[in-house]
Structure 1
C-alpha cells in the first residue's frame, strides 16, 4: 500500500515536475541514466507506508552518503549501452548470425553503417560492463552493508560461466565477425535476463548515489520511521529544502497533542513553514533525506494540504466554495479512520471574517478529536486561537513573531510558543504610502478638473 497524496497536495508542495522551478523532484534529480531518472520519478509517485521498507531504503542512502564515490558513467556513454541491452536479440544463433553477416556485406559493398554501429555498441557495452565490475569491487559485501544484497547479485551475474570471456576483451575497439555474432547472441539472448537485472541495478545505484550526494551537499539528514501505532512525530531544525540558509524550527506531535495551531502576520513565514512540514513528511515516507537536523515519525496513510486552493471558473466555483469542497474532501478521508497528516493554511480566507471565524473554530475543533491524525492549521484570526485554547487541551499554539524596528517590521522566522498579538498590517500599508498615493491622485484629479 502506498502513502496517498492527491494532486492538490502535490501542487501545494511543488513535489513533482522535473522541469518545474524549485520542484522537489528536480532538487533531487542528479541522476545520470534515463532508467535512473524514471526510477526516481516512480519513487516520488509511490511513497511507502511500511516502516521497515522505509528504514531499509534510508539505510542504503545513508550508506552511500559515507562513500566518496561518483557514478562511473556519463549520460551519453550509458545511453548507447542502455538502448542496446534493452533490445531483444534473435532466439536462434543462426538467424542472428545471418543478420549480422548481411550487415557486414552491406558495410563492405555499400558502406552501410549498421554493422559499424553494432560493432561500436557491443564494444561500448563490453567496456562499460568491465568498468562497472571494477567499480563494484571497491564495495564491501559483508552483511553489515545495507546494499550487500544487490552487490552479491551483481557478483553472481559476473561469475556466470557464459560471461567469463568478458575480461579478456578489455579495451577492444573492433570485434571480428564471428566473435561479434557470439557476443551479441550471448548479451542479448542467452544472458538477456541477467543484463536486464544488471541494468536495473545500475539504475538503482544511479539513484542511490544521486540522492546521497544531494543529502551531503545540502546538509540533509535521514528520518527514522516508527510503526503507525506509536503515533509520534519529532523534528529538530526543520527548514524548506529549496531555501538557502533557512532558519530551522522544532516540531513535535503525539496522540494527546496532535494539533499545531499556527498564527502570525503576513510575511512572517507561516506558509513556508507549513510547506516545509508537508515536504518533510512526504520525503520521510519515501525514505529520502529531509531538510532537518533530526526526524523521527510514525508512518501515516497519507497527506492532505489546503494551501493554494484555486477557484474553478469552469465549474462555477468561487474561491470560498472551492475551499469548502477541499475541507469536505479531507473530512471524508479523516472520517474513514485513516491515519493522516492534514495541513490547512488560513481556512476560509475567501469569505467574510465572521463566517471565517465560526467555520475555522467549529471545523478545527471537530478535526482535532481524531487523535490518530496530525494537524497543522494556521489562521490570521487570532480570536479563533484564543477560543480554541479555552475549549481544547490537545492543541499546541505556536506563532512566528514580527519584531518592529521603529515602524519597519522584521521577521525572525523562529517559532515561539503561544498566540501572536502582532497586528502590523496597517503599518506595512502606511510604510508603502498607499493612502498617500490614493489621496494625491484624487487631489491631482480635482486640480485638473478645476483648471
Structure 2
C-alpha cells in the first residue's frame, strides 16, 4: 500500500517540482547524476508506509550525515561511463576487428567506445577506493566483491585492440548485471550524500516512525524547512487529542505552521530529514490538505462550491476507515460569515469523531471555537499578534487557547486606504 497524497495536497505544500525554485524537492536536489535525480524523484513520489522501511532509510541518511563524505565521481566521466555501458550495437571481438580492418569504415563509433571504456575503468577505480570509507556500511560488501573480481582495474597496460575487445565484452556482456548494480549503487550514494548534506547544513533532524496504532504525532520544535530563520513550535497529537483548532489574525503564521506540519509528515514517511526536533509519528495511510482550493470556471464551480467538493472528497476518505492526516486552512472562506460559522462548526465536530485521524483546522471565525469546547479531544491553539502602538508584530509562537485579536481594520487604516479614497 502506498502513501496517499493527491495533486491538490502536493501543490498546497509545494512538495514536487524539479524546476520550481521554492519546492521542497528542489531544496534537497543537490544531485550530480541523472540516475540520482530519477531516484530522488521516485522517493518523493512514493513515500513509504512500512515502519521498518522508513526507519531503515532514515538510519542510512543519518549514517552518511555522520560520515560527511564528498561525492567522489566526476559528472562528465560518469555520464560517459553510463552511456558506454548502455550502448547498443555489436561489440564482440569479431565486430570490432571488422570495423578496424575496414579502411573505408568511419572510426567514430570505435573512438566513442574507447572513450567510454576508459571512463568506466576510471569510475570503477574511484568506486573501489571510495568503498574504503564505507567499511562499516552493510551494502558495500557486495560492491567490493564485484570490484575485486575485476583484477585488471589497476593495470596500466596499453589498451590494444584485443584488450579493448576483451574488456568491453567483460563489462558490457559477462558482467552486465553487476555493472547495472554498481551504477545503481552510485545513484544511491549520490542521493544519500546530497540529502544528508542538506540536513547537516540546515539543521534538520530524523523522525522515528511508530506503528499505526496507537495514533501519535509529537515534536518539540517544528518549523518550515524553506525558512532559514523559521520559528519552531511544539506540536503534539494523539487519539485523545486528535484535532488542533487553530486561530490567529491574518499574517500571524497559521498557513505556514500548517504547511510545516504537512511537509514534515510527508518527508518523515519518505525517511528523509525533517525541520523538526525529537519527532516521532505513527505511520499514516495518507495526507489531504485544503489550503489553496481554486475555483473551476470550466466546470462552473464557484470558490465556495470547490471548497465544498474538497471537504466532501476528504470526508469520504476519512469515513472509509483510513488513518489520515487532514489540514484545512480557513474552511468555507468563500461564503458569508453565518454559513461559514455553521459549516465550520458542523464539519469540525463531525471530523473530530474519527480518533484514528489527525486534523489541523484553522479559521478566522473565532466564535466557532467556543462552541467546540464541549469536545474533549480538541486542543485550541492560536498565533498571537502584539501591538506596538498601531503596528502589529507577529511572534509566530504557538499559544494555547483561542485568539481575541481583531486587527484587520487597523491594518487597513495603517495602509491609508480609506484616507486615499476620501482624498
5+ long unaligned stretches in structure 1: 142-146, 441-451
Counterparts of 1:93-108 in structure 2 under 5 Å?
A: 96-105=92-101
Q: Deviations over 1:125-166 (max 9, x none)?
A: 00110111000112223xxxxx41x21110121133xx2222
What RMSD in Å do the two structures reach over aligned CA positions? 1.4
Query: What is the aligned partner in structure 2 of residue 443 from structure 1?
Result: none
Look up the SS of the partner of 1:278 in the other structure: helix
Counterparts of 1:232-251 in structure 2 under 5 Å?
A: 232-251=216-235
Q: Distance in 2 between matches of 1:68 and 1:355?
A: 56
Q: Deviations over 1:213-261 (max 9, x none)?
A: 0100100000000000121110121111111111100000010100011
Q: Distance in 1 between matches of 2:61 and 2:163?
A: 40
Spell out structure 1 runs of 4+ moving beyond 6 A.
none
Query: What is the aligned partner in structure 2 of residue 412 from structure 1?
Result: 395
Query: What is the aligned partner in structure 1 of residue 155 from structure 2?
Result: 168
Residues 89 and 96 in structure 1, CA contact (< 8 A), matched pair in contact too: no
Structure having the higher Rg? 1
Query: What is the aligned partner in structure 2 of residue 362 from structure 1?
Result: 346
Q: Distance in 2 between matches of 1:278 and 1:77?
A: 39
Q: Could you tell me how far 1:167 is from its partner in structure 2?
A: 2.0
Q: Could you tell me how far 1:66 is from its partner in structure 2?
A: 0.5
Residues 88 and 189 in structure 1, CA contact (< 8 A), matched pair in contact too: no
Residues 244 and 380 in structure 2, CA contact (< 8 A), matched pair in contact too: yes
Counterparts of 1:366-381 in structure 2 under 5 Å?
A: 366-381=350-365
Residues 123 and 175 in structure 1, CA contact (< 8 A), matched pair in contact too: no
Q: Distance in 2 between matches of 1:298 and 1:89?
A: 51
Q: Could you tell me how far 1:416 is from its partner in structure 2?
A: 0.4
Query: What is the aligned partner in structure 2 of residue 347 from structure 1?
Result: 331
Residues 88 and 192 in structure 1, CA contact (< 8 A), matched pair in contact too: no
Look up the SS of the partner of 1:5 in the other structure: coil
Q: Deviations over 1:247-304 (max 9, x none)?
A: 1000000101000110000000100110000000000000000001220000000000
Counterparts of 1:206-225 in structure 2 under 5 Å?
A: 206-225=190-209
Residues 346 and 377 in structure 1, CA contact (< 8 A), matched pair in contact too: yes
Residues 236 and 251 in structure 1, CA contact (< 8 A), matched pair in contact too: yes
Q: Distance in 2 between matches of 1:399 and 1:74?
A: 50
Query: What is the aligned partner in structure 2 of residue 431 from structure 1?
Result: 414
Q: Could you tell me how far 1:81 is from its partner in structure 2?
A: 0.8
Query: What is the aligned partner in structure 2 of residue 60 from structure 1?
Result: 60
Counterparts of 1:52-451 in structure 2 under 5 Å?
A: 52-87=52-87, 90=90, 96-105=92-101, 112-141=107-136, 147-148=137-138, 150-160=139-149, 163-169=150-156, 175-389=159-373, 391-440=374-423
Look up the SS of the partner of 1:185 in the other structure: helix
Q: Could you tell me how far 1:46 is from its partner in structure 2?
A: 0.4
Normalized against structure 2, the TM-score is what? Answer: 0.97
Q: Distance in 1 between matches of 2:315 and 2:21?
A: 32
Q: Distance in 2 between matches of 1:115 and 1:109?
A: 14
Q: Could you tell me how far 1:89 is from its partner in structure 2?
A: 6.6
Q: Could you tell me how far 1:86 is from its partner in structure 2?
A: 2.4
Q: Could you tell me how far 1:400 is from its partner in structure 2?
A: 0.4
Q: Could you tell me how far 1:88 is from its partner in structure 2?
A: 5.1
Look up the SS of the partner of 1:19 in the other structure: coil
Aligned length: 423
Query: What is the aligned partner in structure 2 of residue 43 from structure 1?
Result: 43
